[in-house]
Structure 1
Amino acid sequence: MKTDVKALVVGGGAIGASIAYHLARAGWSEVMLLERDELTSGSTWHAAGLLPLFNMSYAVSHIHDYSVKFYKTLEEETGLNAGFYVVGNLRMAQTDERMDEYRLYASTAETVGIHYEWLTPAEIKERWPLVRTEDLKGAIFHPEDGYINPADVTQAMAKGARQRGVTIERRWQVDGYAWAGDHWEVTCTKMVEKGGNLVPSEEQVVVKAEHVVTATGNHAQRTARLLGIKMPAIPVEHQYIVTEPDPALVEWRKSNPEHPVLRDADAKWYVREERGGWILGPYERNAPARFEYGVPDSFRADLFPLDLERIEEEYMSMIHRIPSSEEVGLKDDYNGPICYTPDGNPLVGPAPGLRNMWLAEGFSFGITAAGGTGKYLADVMVHGEAEIDMASLDPRRYGDWMTTEYAARKNEEAYEHVYILHHPDEERPACRPLRTAPAYDRMKARGAQFGQVNGWERPNYFGPLDAPEDFDHEARSFRRGGWWQYAVEEAKAIREGVGLIDASAFTKHLVRGPGATAFLDWLTCNRLPKVGRINLTYALTEAGTTRTEYTIVRLAEDEYYLVSAGAWTAYDGDWLRQAAEEGRDRFGWIDVHDVTTQWGVFAVAGPKSRDLLREVVKDADPASVLGNKRFPWLSMRTIELGMCPVRAIRVAYTGELGWELHHPIEMQNYLFDLLEGAGETHGLKLVGARAQNWLRQEKSYRAFGHELGRDATPLEADLPRFVDLSKDFRGKAAMEATGIRSKCVTVLIDGPEDADPWGREALYAGEERVGRLTSGGYSVAFGKSIGMGYVRPEQAAPGTKLKVKMLDGLWDAEVQPDSPYDPENARIRADG
């Protein structure tokens, strides 16, 4: 067994085998994989092996698409048949709303290049007469995927890895990780079989590894304890049953090809053929989480008892959809653990707080994701970044506030939601409310309907307190939901009067010390502001793409207050701390402190915002304290609003005159009451995140996780005014070498009367796909749909005519000049 390697992969399922293979293919020698038992002995062995391309995530769609294409190449490379049955995947819909979901997905699929077809109920019946179709609305069909034998594909990847120089060792368990300054020392114990169980022997080896990747599946909680981190990857029971041969199916197959994998999403199951019978895999309610604190030593390739009562509804719906299955008996049953995460997406990327430690955990669709995960994670490890933005899968999207109880309950919810309609405006209810700002109860009493971001409750919109009985705040839609009319009124209030937005979820870091100025100057691409001023800037990856967006407030010569997106607190904080630690020898002492929970934020914006604040500001000259001379745009002042000291920032994400009021969070209720009382005479309206999202698009304000990410540079985001090329900064050379592959634009859209884009749609020039939207919504200023996204540089000029794919139709769109609303910023700079 080797004791000194470049990369050590821990876990011998499909995920681990793929990572080892792709690291070797990317050029790394001295790669070793360890498996505590036998290859495929975790969830891989009992997986159904389905390969669904369908996914609403842009990044995960790329991962699944790569897997399907990659698996088809393995036999030629390795000589092993991966057991890929390309039978297609038929996803049926019982409702018009389900068809709307498929239409939204289809536009996303087009941005990835995934092929699909539409089928009517009559066409389904003609091709597969065993399927009942009279209650269907239609289906989307992927002819190029199907299912695969999980063990065969894993062994094929393992053989491919060995052929490329990877060492694979079985029956070795990792019992400890220690960072030695420039490498990991991994304590490994030889496992031996005793009485049918695997037990540790006295043989131990310490392996030195520059990089470690954990792909430990159901053992993720043990891995987390060994690493001293939190990881919300906890298994949930998933059961499926195999029937005896169905005589009608056997007869059909005498002269016909195999059925595609059938999915009745509204019935919450998948079905595929298996040796003349059927496999039914339901995603039912009340499937419990298991192994919250670790897998028992006695659990190997084992299963749980079947709970047929729990899946009775899904079983009966299979009989309804495939009537010939009614008289068929059960042959086999499986109920095994499959890992989930609270949002259903895996954890792929750097482990929080650790160097050269990489996680590939929490895969609920591990066979589908294995190939692509190996490829894109290897790209990040070897080349610094992948060609797609992997931030949505980053393990640091969850902070230390997360507990085992939270993860277990949210994972159960994620399992149950596999086939529940994935509305773009969905808000899942489990474990809520959990993180609340002090004014939560006040806002709830005023009609706030909350969404969740990083565990925080944040108002999405404010509905009527006297809503009619038939108004359902929980109603979601792929078109304009019931909330849309209220968001319109909120957006108008900001444009015409004054609104208040709770932005307390913003991420806030304090960076200070003798090395702070030089460090931040190197870390970010824009000039640093002077004391008392602010600047918008970007931190880049080594590949020159956008790692994070910051609003930097300079409090003193060597003290800075950094504000970034609320969804990315742990992601930003972990990266900042590591960068500061690495830079101390070069720049001097730097302190990075997360102050997110110490400061609440109210954004007050609109042409009447100055009038409102003058009602409550305490100053010797309240008439001038908020004027441009004393408080210019893009500056910060410490002011007093009544009895509340406020760090006021003259900036507004809505593009109107406004201030962000950063205040001690323990004084939030006092400040809210003060502002609300003063606002009565000025028509103050409470405003939610959805209206704010529309308003920022009218100003072409890019958002991290949408227009800004690790797959595009700030220059491709068309933000040269925030890039100071006269100075040296991290990622500069790579950014310049990348050039402009695509360009960010704002478009106004003549779309359907009852729908707006969501930011997942394909963009066309004529019949040719030329880009995709990354944000979408409605513009109250222009009275039509609006969106932002990326197109080829030649399509980025203002006035260019494009088409947006919405609801399976192409709708006219036109590229706008940057900041189509108030391009001169006259309103945001207004004096008074």
Structure 2
Amino acid sequence: MKTHVRALVVGGGAVGCGIAYHLAKAGWDTLLVERDELTSGSTWHAAGLLPLFNMSYATTHIHKYSVDFYKSLEAETGLNAGFAVVGNLRMAQTDERMDEYMLYSSVAETAGVYHEFLTPAQIKERWPLLRTEDLKGALFHPRDGYINPADVTQAMAKGARQHGAEIVRKLQVNAYRWTGSEWVVTLEKMVEKGNRLVPSGELIEVTAEHVVTATGNHAQRTARLLGIKIPAIPVEHQYIVTEPDPALVKWRAEGNPEHPVLRDADAKWYVREERGGWILGPYERNAPARFLYDVPESFRADLFQLDLERIEEEYMSMIHRIPTSETVGLKDDFNGPICYTPDGNPLVGPAPGLRNMWLAEGFSFGITAAGGTGYYLAQMMTQGEAEIDMASLDPKRYGNWMTTEYAARKNEECYEHVFILHHPDEEREACRPLRTAPNYDRQIAAGAQMGQVNGWERPNYFGPKDAPAGFDHDARSFRRGGWWQYARAEAEAVRTTAGLIDATAFAKHLLRGPGATEFLDRFTCNKLPKVGRINLTYALTEAGTTRTEYTIVRLAEDEYYLISAGAWADYDGDFLRRSIEDFRAAGGDYVDCHDITTQWGVFALAGPNARAILQEIVKDAEPETVLSNKRFPWLSMRNIELGMCPVRAVRVAYTGELGWELHHPIEMSRYLWDLLIAAGAKHGMKLVGARAQNWLRQEKSYRAFGNELGRDATPMEAGVDRFIDLDKDFTGKQAMLETGIRSKCVTLLIDGPEDTDPWGKEAIMLNGEKVGRLTSGGWSVAFRRQIGMGYVRPDLAEPGTKLKVKIQLKEWDAVVTEDSPHDPSNARIRVDG
């Protein structure tokens, strides 16, 4: 076998073989090792379903690629992958489920996934064995279906070999060692001993420029060997196979087609045909996580004991939906481990803190994702970036605060939620509260309804302490939820009086040292601010797209305070540290970098009365002028004292009003909160949550990382040219210029439905054709209509261009506005006092 390769793939399930295939096809010398047999992990007992349905833009693209790719494998390899293109029927028992399907329809349209809507009568006409009188309708994907997991894995493995990859079985990784330029991986041969697989003691070393781990159920062992955290832990998944159903056998004997994969989402199961009978796969409550620390050596292609009582409700609902199944017996059963992550999306991308180490872990829909993951991960590895933004799948979206217990409990919750309605305003409750600011209890007492970002609790909105009769703060909706009226009042307060927002979850890094200025100048695309000033800037990828957004506060000549999005703290921190290492390796001077997120609390105070509120509590020799434009201009920072609290005040507001971010020692958060509440009482100040802030920033066309800003668009395409200094050299500059303008970010005002706002997933249409997609959406209190931001063709980006936005399957009038439609001259932000 090879002992030096460009890429080593660890794990021979469907995902590992898909990665090996695409790396080899891209021309990389590739070796795949598997500790047992190919498909011996979760692949062998997977049901092989290929659902295109997913609310994630990136994951939808991955699934679509897989479905198309699997159809081509036989022609390339000569092996039939066992793809039954029977379609996928998602039934709905409620209007709210149909709302979910309508929102998904927009995601599917933006990704080019074909789908249809069917009425109950149409369902009954096509598939008369189904009970339909209690259905509202269904979403139908006619182009997917199911596949034989072992066959498709072997087909990808053969394709990988045809492209030059080598695949070796019975080799277990025992150690990884980074030499500074490549990985030395210690492998041990495994041997059969009875029905067990045991280490032989015979070791082999392989050196590889890059390593990809696709170790499935063994992810916790992988994490331990690498010295990192991977929140991929398996959960039990049961499915049963029935004896032949005489009615189904007759249906097929009469020449009728195979049923599509059936999903009764409200009953929490999938069903498909299997040799005249049915396979039932439920997603029930109380399925336990397994292998929290390791997979026993004795566990190979094994299963757990079936727990029929746990799935009784789902089994009875199958009988209700397919009445002829009531009399058939059980033929077989499976209860095996399927890996999950806390949010259900896999972990795909660079491993935290490591060079040339790539993760492909935590696949709950591994068969569906295997081909697409291989395709896009190979692009990231061989070209620097994928053609779609993969940040939402990045392993570093979970910080180092994450523990085994957290991952296990959240993964159990995620399993249970597979078929629970995926509301855009969803907030899952497991493992909460966990990360809280000191004033958390104050906010709860004030009616805060909490969401979470990166584990931090933060207010989504503030509702009444004593909710009106019948009002449920936990109720979610695909339309305007009960929270909408409170978020609107908060947004109006920021525009008319003042609002106080807890922004403690912001990521904060301190950079200093003799090389700090030179490093940041190359690292970011904007001019660096002068001491005491701030600027907004972007760090680019090598491909010229937007890797991260930072607000930079210059504290001293070689000392900088960097603020970025709270959801991306570890993602940003890892990128900073890697970039500093590259800078030093190229001869740059010393730079010290510290993550100080948990040391500083942040309150954002904004609105016409913000200055008056602060003047109530600021301590200064001249309190009347300390906050004036002359002494404290827009886009500057000053150290001030509010009562007894020292504050690093930054004159900027994400809402587009006069405002300050008040960065303070986190241990003084309760004191400062109480001080601001008392001072703001007579100035009409309201407490404001994240949802109102999201609406307000769209009225100012402020781009958000993970929405408008990402690794699939350059800053020029994002329309932030004023923050790009083309007179200096910076990482990604040439690539950005060579990319040009493929699409353009715009702000749209929308005349939409009376009870629904866009969520940022909708298709933008012109003459019945998709011409772009929204990346953000909401309600504008300034314009009393819906608002959204998104990307369109460059020729459609001019203000005044009339377009349509698709909401609830209907196209609604929309118009492209000028950037910052509310207060385009920034007069309200700059107002003096």
1:600 alignment partner AA:
G
In 1, the alpha carbon distance for the partners of 2:201 and 2:711 equals 46
1:269 alignment partner AA:
W
The answer for the alignment partner of 1:752 in structure 2 is: 753
The answer for the alignment partner of 1:398 in structure 2 is: 398
In 2, the alpha carbon distance for the partners of 1:710 and 1:27 equals 24
Shift of 1:680: 1.2
CA-to-partner distance for each residue in 1:29-52, whole Å, 9 max, x for gaps? x20000000000000000000000
The answer for the alignment partner of 1:422 in structure 2 is: 422
Secondary structure of 2:319 counterpart: helix
In 1, the alpha carbon distance for the partners of 2:657 and 2:394 equals 34
The answer for the alignment partner of 2:624 in structure 1 is: 623
In 2, the alpha carbon distance for the partners of 1:178 and 1:742 equals 43
Shift of 1:17: 0.2
The answer for the alignment partner of 1:157 in structure 2 is: 156
Q: State whether structure 2 residue 693 is matched by structure 1 residue 692.
A: yes
CA-to-partner distance for each residue in 1:512-559, whole Å, 9 max, x for gaps? 111000000000000000000000000000000000000000000000
Runs of 5+ in structure 1 lacking a partner? none
Contact 1:350 1:356 in 2 (8 A): yes
The answer for the alignment partner of 1:349 in structure 2 is: 349
Mapping of residues 131-280 of structure 1, within 5 Å: 131-254=130-253, 255-280=255-280
The answer for the alignment partner of 2:654 in structure 1 is: 653
Contact 1:524 1:539 in 2 (8 A): yes
Secondary structure of 2:551 counterpart: strand
CA-to-partner distance for each residue in 1:71-102, whole Å, 9 max, x for gaps? 00000000000000000000000000000000
In 1, the alpha carbon distance for the partners of 2:58 and 2:503 equals 27
The answer for the alignment partner of 1:814 in structure 2 is: 815
In 1, the alpha carbon distance for the partners of 2:32 and 2:268 equals 36
The answer for the alignment partner of 1:50 in structure 2 is: 49
Shift of 1:581: 1.3
The answer for the alignment partner of 1:551 in structure 2 is: 551
The answer for the alignment partner of 1:34 in structure 2 is: 33
CA-to-partner distance for each residue in 1:12-68, whole Å, 9 max, x for gaps? 00000000000011221x200000000000000000000000000000000000000
The answer for the alignment partner of 2:288 in structure 1 is: 288
In 1, the alpha carbon distance for the partners of 2:511 and 2:577 equals 10
1:319 alignment partner AA:
I
Contact 1:573 1:594 in 2 (8 A): yes
The answer for the alignment partner of 2:120 in structure 1 is: 121
Shift of 1:765: 1.2
Secondary structure of 2:805 counterpart: strand
Secondary structure of 2:50 counterpart: coil
Mapping of residues 58-77 of structure 1, within 5 Å: 58-77=57-76
Instruction: Provide the aligned C-alpha RMSD in A.
Output: 0.5
In 2, the alpha carbon distance for the partners of 1:26 and 1:483 equals 49
Contact 1:516 1:587 in 2 (8 A): no
Mapping of residues 558-577 of structure 1, within 5 Å: 558-577=558-577
Shift of 1:767: 1.3
TM-score by length of 1: 1.00
The answer for the alignment partner of 2:602 in structure 1 is: 601
Contact 1:84 1:148 in 2 (8 A): yes
In 2, the alpha carbon distance for the partners of 1:468 and 1:724 equals 53
In 2, the alpha carbon distance for the partners of 1:468 and 1:769 equals 42
In 2, the alpha carbon distance for the partners of 1:488 and 1:343 equals 28
1:776 alignment partner AA:
G
The answer for the alignment partner of 1:299 in structure 2 is: 299
The answer for the alignment partner of 1:713 in structure 2 is: 714
2:136 alignment partner AA:
K
1:703 alignment partner AA:
A
The answer for the alignment partner of 1:386 in structure 2 is: 386
Secondary structure of 1:828 counterpart: helix
CA-to-partner distance for each residue in 1:154-182, whole Å, 9 max, x for gaps? 00000000000000000000000000110
In 2, the alpha carbon distance for the partners of 1:769 and 1:202 equals 59
Shift of 1:239: 0.3
Secondary structure of 2:829 counterpart: coil
The answer for the alignment partner of 1:108 in structure 2 is: 107
The answer for the alignment partner of 1:782 in structure 2 is: 783
In 2, the alpha carbon distance for the partners of 1:735 and 1:417 equals 40
1:438 alignment partner AA:
P
Shift of 1:469: 2.7
TM-score by length of 2: 1.00
Shift of 1:683: 1.2
CA-to-partner distance for each residue in 1:654-683, whole Å, 9 max, x for gaps? 000000000000000000011111111111
Contact 1:553 1:560 in 2 (8 A): yes
Contact 1:263 1:269 in 2 (8 A): yes
1:74 alignment partner AA:
L
In 2, the alpha carbon distance for the partners of 1:662 and 1:630 equals 19
Mapping of residues 253-652 of structure 1, within 5 Å: 253-254=252-253, 255-585=255-585, 586-652=587-653
CA-to-partner distance for each residue in 1:582-611, whole Å, 9 max, x for gaps? 211432101110000000000000000000
In 2, the alpha carbon distance for the partners of 1:436 and 1:602 equals 14
Shift of 1:465: 1.4
Identity among equivalent positions (%) equals: 79
Q: State whether structure 2 residue 729 is matched by structure 1 residue 733.
A: no
1:810 alignment partner AA:
E
In 1, the alpha carbon distance for the partners of 2:314 and 2:832 equals 64
1:538 alignment partner AA:
Y
In 1, the alpha carbon distance for the partners of 2:218 and 2:784 equals 53
Q: Which segments of structure 1 move beyond 3 Å, counting only runs of 4 or more?
A: none
The answer for the alignment partner of 2:25 in structure 1 is: 25
In 1, the alpha carbon distance for the partners of 2:8 and 2:588 equals 33
In 2, the alpha carbon distance for the partners of 1:465 and 1:167 equals 64
Shift of 1:202: 2.1
In 2, the alpha carbon distance for the partners of 1:206 and 1:560 equals 44
Q: State whether structure 2 residue 664 is matched by structure 1 residue 663.
A: yes
1:38 alignment partner AA:
E
In 2, the alpha carbon distance for the partners of 1:2 and 1:385 equals 28
Secondary structure of 1:715 counterpart: coil
Runs of 5+ in structure 2 lacking a partner? none
2:460 alignment partner AA:
N
Secondary structure of 1:414 counterpart: helix
CA-to-partner distance for each residue in 1:559-585, whole Å, 9 max, x for gaps? 000000000011000110111112114
CA-to-partner distance for each residue in 1:186-220, whole Å, 9 max, x for gaps? 00000000121111112111100000000000000
Shift of 1:466: 2.4
In 2, the alpha carbon distance for the partners of 1:202 and 1:689 equals 56
2:283 alignment partner AA:
Y
The answer for the alignment partner of 1:130 in structure 2 is: 129
Shift of 1:281: 0.2
CA-to-partner distance for each residue in 1:137-169, whole Å, 9 max, x for gaps? 000100000000000000000000000000000
1:556 alignment partner AA:
A
